[in-house]
Structure 1
Amino acid sequence: MSAVGMFVELVDRSVQRIAEIVADGRRFDRREVARLADVWDNNTSHFFGVLGIRNRWLRERAARAGLRWMGEFHREWMVEVCGEPMRRLLPVPAEPLYYRDSAGRLRASVLPVAVGGLDGDYDLARATARVVRIERSGDGFCGLMVVRAPRLFTDGVGEFHLEMPVSRAVFDSADVDGLQLGGEQVRIGRSGLLAGGAVTVGIDDWEWHLSRAARAVQDRVPPWRERSRRRPPVRRATGAASAAAWAFRESMVQIRRVRFCGHVGRVALESLVVPLAGAGTRAGEAARLRGAERDRVFQSMADSWGAVADHRPDASRMPDMACLTLVECADGVSVNFAEPVDGRWPVRAARLERPGGVFVSCRDDVLTIGDRAVAGGRAASES
């Protein structure tokens, strides 16, 4: 497969996959939609610019340069889409667990919780989960906790993020003080539990370099050295192709807003993604045309893509038939859900007014919430 062909395939598969996820809101994977849309924030203009290069050799060289730059951020997905040709093009990046910042302080990348040293560096018994989120991820669910805990290695409080696959979960949003970590589970509060897979930790603590875990590995981590990251390609489309590139990027930027769970109900996902079907292939075919016909086809694409008005604002309740895809307990309770409308299941968002908190359960591939006064007593038995 040529480099240009792989570029086209990446565009087409991005759109196709987003459309598949959007088609049935009951399986809505918010993070995958946001990740796929984010690819095209900085790469759309170069893609359309590459298509406009008439010389085949120069076009391939420009496409390879663009793919290599993309590969620094999205290699795993690119290889998954294009297979062995992409694997040969993109070197395997070094991903150290630890590194130093420009001030020479030791930092950690995302770590397996078993090597994160949290129990020796933080008072987990007095930790508080500031955010607990469970949401649809692929064929299952995943969990995120943003935790603040008193440091044991110096004064003050540090923050870290725990992430994991979730097959079973139960917790009370008003009972999130105290943490116990296991190999593939996290216990929270008196009776809360998230279980289902390997737990990873991202440490967001500027004093972490003083911790016991940091001191244990500091001699193995080389000094900071400024990285010479490959400069992004600057090939840009012109004329009507530029208008099509802008409209495609604008569509993806709007779709990407679902990275904020409260925007899931506002973004008109289907109206944005359906017109983009086959966008890469169509752009490649248009680029082979000449003169006015080429401009006409690109302008037609530009006219059918781009800005779409938002849906109604977030709701304050869920309908009875809703299928939950996300629950986030932070300063309040936010949910994403699919709602049956004329035989379809579009996704929506709501900010629930539950001053006393909620009881959350994930079991048998079903995510549910209930009022604490009604459901809170079930926590101990289900955990």
Structure 2
Amino acid sequence: MWDNNTHALFGAVTAPTRWAREHRARRAVRWLADLGNRRRAWVVERTAAAGVPVERLLLPPVPEPAHLRYWGDTIDTRFADLDPESAAWPAAEYDLPGAEFRRLAVERPGSGAPYARIVFALPRRYRQAARGPTELALHLPELTGLRFAGPDVAGLFPQAGPDGVVLGPGAGGELRGPAASLELTDLHWESSPTGRRYAAAHPERADPRIRRARGPYWWASEPGGRAEEAARVLRAAMLGIRMVGHSSVVHRTPVAAIAAGLSGAGRRILDAGAVRGRPEQDAAFRALTAQWLHRGGPDLVREVRDHLPGDLFPGDLLPADHACPDGPRPEPVPPRPVPSTLMLLHHGAAHHDPAPAPSFLQFQLAQAAGGPDTPWQLAGHRLEHPAVLHLTLDAFHRPAVPDVTPGRR
């Protein structure tokens, strides 16, 4: 379940009749899946894997435009698969050899293959009325080759063919994989030759990302009462778990506490919604919310409180021994000189566009906390102004002992 569908779920389970519950549930599933074909495919795949296929309930997929009109009549691009054609068209309107490296993120999810995202700032070849940054982000969902030397990296040389994709960042750099996608951010793209042609062919000013003709959906299904309170707490916890996707805060996301607190939440939400009578149903949802906070402990309490305004947090449900911890969030566990596996690396280059930003290197290591049967820890560290970076794919596959000598960078 996506966090933006939480209230739709509670609205469905608290509907007063079976027909209303079915109607709201269908509408909620459609809302969840109708934010683009990528989202629809994800919903179809996940529900089928769970044994509850819902594709027959969904609206059919629709062709998506290659470019999207932003609010304010500005056109920008969306994700596009990297192929020989899409690898060639940016070179006609942007100076790829003069591209400036901005950011590189490589992550290995568990025991799977690493994936990467690299971002460059592109000088424009076309004329435009105002200045502003242009960034090209390239995503490789599976990384099969990596060679990167920083922080001074200039030039981008993408290639796509039947054997896969090769990105050449700088002199001698290489990111290789079976497929890649690109995303261009240029607020003046409509002034480019391609943008002018697209604008002339699509004079409409409606934002095609918002499918107004295919709604309405969730806003007619607000649960109200104590179910609304439970929905807010659940959504706050889900926002917390999504923070594991941010390298700067993943170390402080209490994954175990959130998982312990919300274990079995789906079945319990259905059970509470099945209670008839508003006072009785409110009592059931209030007991469920208290159970989540009690089972998750202080770490879950703090995570929920951080994502809810003070007047919406149900502090009266907390037992005395579950008060929110005071003080700052925990800092990442520093690396220790023990065998470690690199799980994530995030590197940013120094630049001044649109504002000064220093170079940095942030990484996370999986390290054994004790004996062979103890859980591993995620250790992290951030370096400001790194002197040099040499990175290959072996770093994500071969355990090594990090050098933690003070002062080294």
Q: TM-score, normalised by structure 2?
A: 0.72
Structure-2 change in CA distance of 1:213 and 1:247 (3 Å): same
* Aligned-pair CA distance for 1:323: 2.1
| 8 Å contact kept, 1:104–1:223 | no
Q: Distance in 2 between the 1:249 and 1:272 partners?
A: 12
Find the partner of 2:42 among 77, 101, 104: 77
* Aligned-pair CA distance for 1:134: 0.8
Find the partner of 2:248 among 262, 283, 290: 262
Paired residues, number: 333
Q: What amino acid does structure 1 have at the position aligned with 2:139? A: E
| 8 Å contact kept, 2:14–2:223 | yes
Alignment of 1:230-249 (within 5 A): 230-231=215-216, 232-249=218-235
Find the partner of 2:144 among 157, 167, 179: 167
Match for residue 48 of structure 1? 10
Q: Distance in 2 between the 1:128 and 1:317 partners?
A: 31
Structure-2 change in CA distance of 1:283 and 1:346 (3 Å): farther
Structure-2 change in CA distance of 1:337 and 1:297 (3 Å): farther
Structure-2 change in CA distance of 1:49 and 1:102 (3 Å): closer
Match for residue 101 of structure 2? 129
Q: Distance in 2 between the 1:98 and 1:245 partners?
A: 35
In terms of fraction of residues, the more helix-rich structure is: 1
* Cα shift readout 1:12-60 (whole Å, capped 9, x = no counterpart): xxxxxxxxxxxxxxxxxxxxxxxxxxx21x3222212221223101111
Q: Distance in 2 between the 1:367 and 1:216 partners?
A: 49
Alignment of 1:197-346 (within 5 A): 197-215=178-196, 217-226=198-207, 227=210, 229=212, 230-231=215-216, 232-290=218-276, 295=282, 297-306=284-293, 307-309=300-302, 312-315=330-333, 317=335, 319-330=337-348, 331-342=359-370, 343-346=374-377
* Aligned-pair CA distance for 1:280: 0.9
My pick for the range that moved more, 86-95 or 186-195, is 86-95
* Cα shift readout 1:309-335 (whole Å, capped 9, x = no counterpart): 476213554653332221010120011
Match for residue 149 of structure 1? 122
* Aligned-pair CA distance for 1:295: 4.9
Give the secondary-structure state (helix, strand or coil) at the position aligned to 1:262.
Answer: coil
Q: What amino acid does structure 2 have at the position aligned with 1:298? A: F
Structure-2 change in CA distance of 1:294 and 1:228 (3 Å): closer
* Aligned-pair CA distance for 1:118: 1.6
Structure-2 change in CA distance of 1:347 and 1:300 (3 Å): farther
Unaligned residue ranges in structure 1 (runs of 5+): 1-9, 11-38, 372-383
Match for residue 318 of structure 2? none
Give the secondary-structure state (helix, strand or coil) at the position aligned to 2:368.
Answer: coil
Unaligned residue ranges in structure 2 (runs of 5+): 294-299, 304-328, 349-358, 404-409
Could you list the structure 1 runs, at least 4 aligned residues long, displaced by more than 6 angstroms after superposition. 367-371
Structure-2 change in CA distance of 1:320 and 1:361 (3 Å): farther
Structure-2 change in CA distance of 1:98 and 1:241 (3 Å): closer
Structure-2 change in CA distance of 1:187 and 1:351 (3 Å): same
Q: Distance in 2 between the 1:318 and 1:209 partners?
A: 51
Structure-2 change in CA distance of 1:325 and 1:233 (3 Å): same
* Cα shift readout 1:174-214 (whole Å, capped 9, x = no counterpart): 23111111110111122211101222211111122222443
Structure-2 change in CA distance of 1:170 and 1:108 (3 Å): same
| 8 Å contact kept, 1:272–1:308 | no
Identity %: 26
Match for residue 315 of structure 2? none
Structure-2 change in CA distance of 1:93 and 1:297 (3 Å): same
Q: What amino acid does structure 1 have at the position aligned with 2:339? A: M
| 8 Å contact kept, 1:99–1:224 | no
Q: Distance in 2 between the 1:367 and 1:187 partners?
A: 24
Q: Distance in 2 between the 1:221 and 1:367 partners?
A: 51
Give the secondary-structure state (helix, strand or coil) at the position aligned to 2:275.
Answer: coil
Q: What amino acid does structure 1 have at the position aligned with 2:26? A: R
Match for residue 185 of structure 1? 166
Does residue 120 (structure 1) correspond to residue 120 (structure 2)? The answer is no
Q: Distance in 2 between the 1:340 and 1:93 partners?
A: 48
* Aligned-pair CA distance for 1:269: 1.0
Q: What amino acid does structure 1 have at the position aligned with 2:64? A: E
* Aligned-pair CA distance for 1:252: 0.8
My pick for the range that moved more, 131-140 or 121-130, is 131-140
